[in-house]
Structure 1
Amino acid sequence: MPKAEETILEVDLKALEHNLNHLKSRIPKHTKFLAVVKAFAYGSDACEIAKHLESLNVDYFAVAYTNEGVQLREEGITKPILVLHPQTVSFTTLIKHQLEPNLYSPKILEEFIEVASALNYNNYPIHVKFNTGLNRLGFAEHQVDYLAETLKSTEAIHLTSIFSHLAASEDLNEREFTLNQINSFKRIAETLTKAIGFKPIMHMCNTSGILNYPEAHFDMVRSGIGLYGYGNSEKENKNFKPISTLKTVISQIHDIEPGESVGYNRAFTSKIPVRTATLPLGHADGIGRQYGNGKGYAIINGKKAPIVGNVCMDMIMVNVTDIACKEGDEAILFDANTTAEDFAETANTISYELLTSVSQRVKRVFLK
């Protein structure tokens, strides 16, 4: 891999392919694969990731919001794109770009039918989410009859899939809760299928669901974090390759005398001679203030250099007292060895938050 000369996020597309192949190896051959590329493809680059995954023949993509789907269409992505959390104000734009909405409540369902009808659409593909325990979005089980009658009363839309979302699929201590969710979804699907006279695509599993609950693979699975290299457990992580490396360079080295402070609010005051290195990235780049004062670190010449004082907007200072290094040397925040999960744990958060926080001002470099 090339040595960093500035702050960059390297994205390894071969690792992405490895992760996709591993996930596919865990599901039946007939089961469709939906790749979740919301939030800038978990902080990497949604368009580049989607282009590569489309070349590898994934069946579907999912984004959170309409504008994310529009960007994919404008970059030439042709596979179906599910918008997980559309807002009514964006329905016309969504339809214009042939995106497929998740309709999760009576209000949003009826408003979408109204828009699609006004535009003279027939059988526009839609998806319906059911709430089986996450209590975030979705129709309740008691609304199945209403939903069936509404679907049968219009020709403007066609129900392509029904789905739900597991709340704790990575936590095997919550297995009973998860199995109750799965059984609830099966019951809902059976009732709705009988009422409407055909069977839509069923999907429920996220990455940990794919790995832990094969009985819930159904017709399609959805994966986000697994594609980007994380299996949500020490055991499963061994089968994945993190695709992203956040690296930068040492801008300047300072010798700090006893009694001198470093950074804003004088959050660090030295009691002994200390050497610090200043790195050109900060909380505007995704390394939040919660990583300051010795929690987070950079890897410089194979050794951990803890963050000194508060994280600044565009810079962090790290302790290199015991590390042989010079200005211009490379510093790694996370990679395939010291992972985003490892780094995130220092501030009691998760890899998802860290990865999706990497600012788009950080240059992306794709390794093919």
Structure 2
Amino acid sequence: NTRIYLLGATWSEEREEIVAQDWTPCLSSLEEARHFNELAADVGTRLKVHLAVDTGMGRGGFVAEDLPKTLAELMTLEHLEIEGLGSHLPSADEDREFTLKQFACYEKVLAELGGADRFQWRHLSSSAGLLGYPAGSCNLTRPGLLLYGVSPLPEHQQKLQTVMTLKSRVTLIRTLPAGHGVSYGRSFVTIRPTRVATVGIGYGDGYPRHVSGNGAEVCIRGQRFPLLGRVTMDQVMIDVTDGPAVTEGDEVEMFGPNISVAELAVKASTISWEIFTGITPRVTRVYL
């Protein structure tokens, strides 16, 4: 009985299955609405739908100024039950002034469409919206990054506990002499005898290649150790010369409670969302 919401626009060939499964699409156009209405009529049902309004994201939804005029036609589609109104915040973690304007725009459109009583469900906030802004008339939120225990607003991170860790293990340890290159391109060359641990993870698993040469570290036995050279498809190399004795088979934290995903993302010139969603299927998931 769990309701599934489809937040993006849908392809026409997907819609028959959506109606059959009684999923809830968020509509962005009259074309979508008319087609869903026809499909629902064919099977004698009423499909619950939400309307998406574009308050500034530019990715989908009815243009805010047009939606009140469009609602009249939407209301003639007898096999659709319009139960929600949603929008999305593109810069709630970067531009407070614009985000507040989006909230105001949403409230204006909501009022023009008949007010909060017209829609059972009203939603706008992402993780940053939930943490940093008043809810207004909304009674649903759509957190993403927060589900991992990570805040898009750094000032709120202390309230959260990281719930995802990416781990691997040491597969090999060798001591390389001074002047020895490490990894493709020999972008790193040892300047002293160096104890190098090879770890069984790489960009083929979703560990970002762009951290190469940018000071990335891992955590082994509670201590940080630096990455050496370039991240390869299946392996990375770590300098374990200093600190506690590292042995083959030791667990290696790539990110988690000791190496934050935000830190890793900065060193990869990307965002935490991309790190989380980029972990590939070949990495074993363990749910606790």
TM-score (norm 2): 0.92
Letter in 2 for 1:158: E
Gaps of 5+ in 2: none
Per the alignment, in what secondary structure is the counterpart of residue 221 of structure 1?
Answer: coil
1:146 deviates by 4.2
* Contact residue 210 and residue 221 of structure 1 kept, 8 A: yes
Per the alignment, in what secondary structure is the counterpart of residue 365 of structure 1?
Answer: coil
How far apart, CA to CA, are the structure 1 residues paired with 2:249 and 2:191? 27
Alignment partner, residue 145 of structure 2: 225
How far apart, CA to CA, are the structure 1 residues paired with 2:286 and 2:67? 47
1:159 deviates by 0.5
* Contact residue 160 and residue 201 of structure 1 kept, 8 A: yes
TM-score (norm 1): 0.73
* Contact residue 193 and residue 200 of structure 1 kept, 8 A: no
Deviations 1:153-192 (A, max 9, x none): 2111111100111222223xx2221121111111111112
1:341 deviates by 1.5
* 1:113 paired residue among 31, 37, 51: 37
1:103 aligns with 2:41: no
Per the alignment, in what secondary structure is the counterpart of residue 251 of structure 1?
Answer: strand
1:132 deviates by 0.6
Superposition CA RMSD, Å: 1.9
Gaps of 5+ in 1: 1-77
Alignment partner, residue 123 of structure 2: 203
Name the larger-Rg structure.
2
Greater helix share, structure number: 1
1:315 aligns with 2:235: yes
How far apart, CA to CA, are the structure 1 residues paired with 2:206 and 2:258? 19
* 2:272 paired residue among 339, 343, 351: 351
| Residues 1:242 and 1:152: Cα distance change in structure 2 (over 3 Å) | same
Deviations 1:121-146 (A, max 9, x none): 2x210111101111111111232244
* Contact residue 207 and residue 275 of structure 2 kept, 8 A: yes
How far apart, CA to CA, are the structure 1 residues paired with 2:88 and 2:136? 11
1:330 deviates by 1.5
1:294 deviates by 4.6
Alignment of 1:139-288 (within 5 A): 139-171=62-94, 174-193=95-114, 198-216=118-136, 218-288=138-208
How far apart, CA to CA, are the structure 2 residues paired with 1:253 and 1:101? 53
* Contact residue 294 and residue 308 of structure 1 kept, 8 A: no
Alignment partner, residue 256 of structure 2: 335
Per the alignment, in what secondary structure is the counterpart of residue 286 of structure 2?
Answer: strand
* Contact residue 37 and residue 78 of structure 2 kept, 8 A: no
Identity of aligned residues (%): 29
* Contact residue 294 and residue 306 of structure 1 kept, 8 A: no
Alignment partner, residue 303 of structure 1: 223
Q: Which runs of 4+ in 1 moved over 3 A?
A: 197-200
How far apart, CA to CA, are the structure 2 residues paired with 1:352 and 1:336? 17
| Residues 1:211 and 1:217: Cα distance change in structure 2 (over 3 Å) | farther
Per the alignment, in what secondary structure is the counterpart of residue 287 of structure 2?
Answer: strand
Higher relative contact order (CA 8 A, sep 6+): 1
How far apart, CA to CA, are the structure 2 residues paired with 1:199 and 1:270? 64
* Contact residue 134 and residue 165 of structure 1 kept, 8 A: yes
Alignment partner, residue 13 of structure 2: 89
1:217 deviates by 5.6
1:215 deviates by 4.0
